[in-house]
Amino acid sequence: MLLAIDMGNTQTALGLFEGDELRLSWRMPTDRSFTADELHVRLLGYFRMYGMTLDCVDAVAFAGVVPELSRAWRRVAERIAASIVTVGRETAAVTRVRAENPAEVGADRVANATAAATFYGAPAIVVDFGTATNIDVVDAEGYYIGGAIAPGLRISMDALTARAARLSSVPLEAPEHAIGVNTVEAVQSGAVLGTAAMAEGLVARIRRELGDPRAQVIATGGLAGVIAGSTDIFDVVDGQLTLKGIREIYRRMQEQG
């Protein structure tokens, strides 16, 4: 089995694949203080919940943005005698990136673009609602060509509540109306519906630049479910898109030998 790991700035998503099938998935906090020992213990706990052991993991495919944790995860893979593939320079030969500086493109964005083109076709636009809201654009030839990065919903809320402590208890959910009739609804309108409106506006501009108003639009990321219900811009909501992209990149590396 393959353990795919998508390490973001706030959360780390893990998926256990048997062939092309995603058997199990988990989320855990991305804590820069975690050592290899702590990551190993957490991983053991997730597997034991389902009566499994780490012996079933043959390989680890990893996409991450925190170097110190990347090294810790590599040590975990070594401990469980699993081979490891890290999305980035070592996988460049099997991915399609046509950016000004490919080395600057985050591994998660490469995985998103790979999955979008593979499973949903090209051109495609991926809106990844995580710590940041990343928009990844795939051209008609299946190449990642760029996109946009905006502050994520939680970052925006954290910035707001840092200056207005009374707003800290507002739940992140969509209000029924854009016109909030109380403080909670007003904040939800600005935060949730505002994020949806931003996605709508950027997607419309990107479609015009692509010259294809029918380009597939895919929502993913930990907050996709919060936003997707507030807009009709998305053709697909796939919360596991990044893990599927990591799995596809691993498969291509195996084929390449």
At 44-54, the pLDDT tens digits run: 999 999 999 99
Burial 201-216 (b: 16+ CB within 10 A, else e): ebbeebbeebebeebb
d(CA 22, CA 135): 24
Q: Which residue has the higher pLDDT, 103 or 234?
A: 234
Q: Which residue has the higher pLDDT, 69 or 164?
A: 69
Helix 107-120, helix 241-256: angle, nearest 10: 90
pTM (2 d.p.): 0.93
Mean pLDDT of 135-150: 97
pLDDT surpasses 80 at 162: no
Contact 235/216 with Cβ under 8 angstroms?
yes
Mean pLDDT of 85-110: 93
d(CA 156, CA 222): 15
Q: Are strands 83-86 and 59-64 parallel, antiparallel or unpaired?
A: parallel
The CA angle 38-43-44, to the nearest 5 degrees, is: 100
pLDDT surpasses 80 at 25: yes
d(CA 214, CA 118): 17
Cα 39 to Cα 34, 109, 248, distances in angstroms: 7, 24, 24
d(CA 112, CA 101): 18
pLDDT surpasses 90 at 206: yes
Cα 84 to Cα 36, 65, 232, distances in angstroms: 15, 16, 39
DSSP 31: -
Which of the residues are catalytic?
Answer: 108
Nearest to 158 by CA among 167, 150, 149: 167
The token pair at 110 is 């490469």
Beta carbons within 8 Å of 6's beta carbon, 6+ residues apart: 12, 13, 14, 15, 63, 64, 108, 111, 242, 243, 246
| 165 pLDDT tier (thresholds 50, 70, 90) | low
